[in-house]
Homo-oligomer: A and B are copies of this chain.
Amino acid sequence: MKNLLHPDLNFRLNGRLWVETDDDRFMGIGRLELLTQIQEQGSISKAAQQMGMSYKRAWNLVSSLNAQAAAPVVHTQTGGKRGGGAEVTPAGQQLIQEYRELQERFQAFMAAEAARLF
């Protein structure tokens, strides 16, 4: 491929990987980041803010995740101490770990292919 590419430009291989159902996305790199932020912040709104995303969008993602999981991956509470909050359930933590590992293998795949291509 190297000989086909314009010599002045800097080429790289990139990609996305996700788990989907017939009519919705389930897990992807963005949702992984969101779950991680929720874990760290203990709150959907803080996680959204941290990621520069609207609260509504973050909430929708959490809702989609929970709706498609066997058991909720994020547990939320309205009102109470600190106004409420959100925490990643054990199932959610397992999801984070498994997807993170998948993502790492994907990165390795891309790195290997990039080495072959360029």
Contact B20 A12 (CB under 8 A): yes
Q: How far is the CA of A94 from the CA of B15 in the complex (A)?
A: 22
Q: State which of A32-40, A74-82, A109-117 sits at the interface with chain B.
A: A109-117
Cβ contacts under 8 Å, A19 to chain B: 1, 11-14, 117
Q: Given that A6-B69, A6-B70, A70-B6 are known contacts, is A13 also in contact with B17, CB under 8 Å in the complex?
A: yes
Copies of this chain present in the complex amount to 2
Q: Assess whether A105 is interfacial by the CB under 8 Å rule.
A: yes
Main secondary structure of the interface of A (DSSP, over half): mixed
Closest chain B residue to A102 by CB distance?
B113
Chain B nearest CB from A118 CB (Å) reads 9
Cβ contacts under 8 Å, A98 to chain B: 1, 4, 117
| Chain A contacts to B: CB under 8 angstroms | 1, 3-7, 9-22, 26, 67-71, 73, 91, 94-95, 98-99, 102, 105-106, 109-110, 113, 117
